[in-house]
Amino acid sequence: MKNTGRLRIRPTPYGWILIFLLVWVPVAAVGSANNFLFIVSIMLFGLALVSHWLAKRNVKSVELSRRFPEEIFADTSFAIQYLLKSDLKPWGSAALEFLESTPLEATSGRVQFSHVAQDQVTVERGLFSIPSRGDKQITPGTLVSSFPFGLAQYSLKRGDTQSVLVFPRIHPVHDDIPFGLGESRKGSERQDPSGTIPYHFREYVSGDPYKHIDWKQTSKTGTFITKIFSEQGSREVVIRLSRQSSEQAISKAASLVVHFGSLGVPVALHGPGVATEAGTGKEFGRKLLIILARWGNSRDTVSPEHHSTGAVIRIDAMGNLSWQLPGEMDGPESKHIEYR
């Protein structure tokens, strides 16, 4: 979209030299009655006028719009798509740069457009990041050009004001939680009289609670066998945030949402004033990320801790994790964290 902002002109070092000559040469020509200097002064004025006319049209003829990705994460590079079109005949506009303002931070320098075709959409991309989460207002950027002779920079505001939601930063969490937490890992099955499967059997994995070892199956097979409760319950993961959570804690919660979402594990989010049901899928994960992106520490509502048959991961105010595996009460592996 073509904006109607004010065109700003700032001479370059070469432009200041030209301005000096535009003053000095005519004065010298008058003082010395030198016709050659008169000719030179006329040529310099002509150069200045032609440069100004071309540079002004080069910038003002450009239409620019921006497209942001659907998901933006704090302190993580993402691409902005620029759609440009010029009505400058016959070849379009050339040698342009685009400068974004805060909160956008360029990760690849200025975005440069070497050529914008006439009456044809040109698509370019630039890499940027936003340092913090939350709702952000993106203001118009500045389109700059020194074309054609580099005598002055001509700049004009371009791009609409847009609002974007920035999700918390995502970190790998594989090393922060027990191996296989939330995964199905089916083995042999046991059916109860109603035909459902209350739990599965599999070989013992380091970190499994000893109380989940099935000694009858262990004696039959000669190796430790662990009971894994039914997939509907044992795979569910509840993420619990404390009150006055730091940015690190909120980032850790978002990282867990993304991690378990990629595994197809049902995830629920609990905290002050928040108690979602467990769910899966991209849209549900996005819903949880939106909650975390707008998370505020001014919540006064106290939410009770809901019982879960799955795993519970608690995140304290500083972002430290503790967990409670399926079927466990608070114990050595589960430090209780108040999140009220």
* Predicted confidence (pLDDT) per residue in 200-255, tens digit: 566 676 666 777 788 888 888 888 887 765 544 457 899 999 888 899 999 999 99
Assign residue 70 the CATH number of its domain.
Answer: 2.60.40.10
What percentage of the chain carries pLDDT values higher than 90? 56
Q: Which of 22-36, 50-64, 170-184 has the weakest average pLDDT?
A: 170-184
Q: Tell me the pLDDT tens digit for each residue of 103-126.
A: 999 987 789 999 999 989 999 999
Position with higher pLDDT, 149 vs 340:
149
Residues 77 and 147 in one domain: yes
Residues 33 and 151 in one domain: yes
**pLDDT beyond 80 at 35:** yes
Residues 201 and 284 in one domain: yes
Mean pLDDT to the nearest integer, 273-292? 91
Question: Which of 168-182, 289-303, 312-326 ranks highest by mean pLDDT?
Answer: 312-326
Residues 93 and 223 in one domain: no
Flag whether 340 is in a domain: no
- The alpha carbon dihedral of 64, 130, 135, 137 has a sign of negative
Q: Which residues contact 136 (CB under 8 A, 6 or more apart)?
A: 103, 130, 163, 164, 165, 166
Mean pLDDT to the nearest integer, 83-104? 93
Q: Tell me the pLDDT tens digit for each residue of 302-339.
A: 455 555 567 889 999 998 998 887 655 554 444 443 33
pLDDT-based confidence at 76, cuts 50/70/90? very high
Residues 277 and 246 in one domain: yes
Flag whether 333 is in a domain: no
pLDDT of residue 340: 36
Look over the chain and give the mean of its residue pLDDT values, rounded to a whole number: 83
Residues 148 and 194 in one domain: no
Residues 160 and 22 in one domain: yes
pLDDT-based confidence at 55, cuts 50/70/90? very high
pLDDT-based confidence at 188, cuts 50/70/90? very low
Q: Report the distance separating Cα 106 and Cα 254, nearest Å.
A: 24
Residues 241 and 136 in one domain: no
Residues 255 and 300 in one domain: yes
Residues 9 and 137 in one domain: yes
**pLDDT beyond 50 at 285:** yes
Q: What is the 3-state secondary structure (H, E, C) of the chain?
A: CCCCCCCEEEECHHHHHHHHHHHHHHHHHHHHCCHHHHHHHHHHHHHHHHHHHHHHHHHHCEEEEEECCCCEECCCCEEEEEEEEECCCCCCEEEEEEECCCCCEECCCCEEEEEECECCCEEEEEEEECCCCEEEEECCEEEEECCCCCCEEEEEEECCCEEEEEECCCCCCCCCCCCCCCCCCCCEEECCCCCCCCEEEEECCCCCCHHHECHHHHHHHCCCEEEEECHHHHCCEEEEECCCCCHHHHHHHHHHHHHHHHHCCCEEEEECCEECCCECCHHHHHHHHHHHHCCCCCCCCCCCCCCCCCEEEEECCCCCEEEECCCCCCCCCCCCCCCC
Residues 153 and 10 in one domain: yes
* Domain ranges, residue 216: 188-324
Nearest to 278 by CA among 253, 261, 259, 298: 261
- The alpha carbon dihedral of 264, 265, 271, 277 has a sign of positive
| pTM for the predicted model, two decimal places | 0.76
Residues 197 and 82 in one domain: no
Counted domains in the chain: 2
pLDDT of residue 232: 44
Q: Report the distance separating Cα 101 and Cα 96, nearest Å.
A: 17
**pLDDT beyond 70 at 54:** yes
**pLDDT beyond 70 at 169:** yes
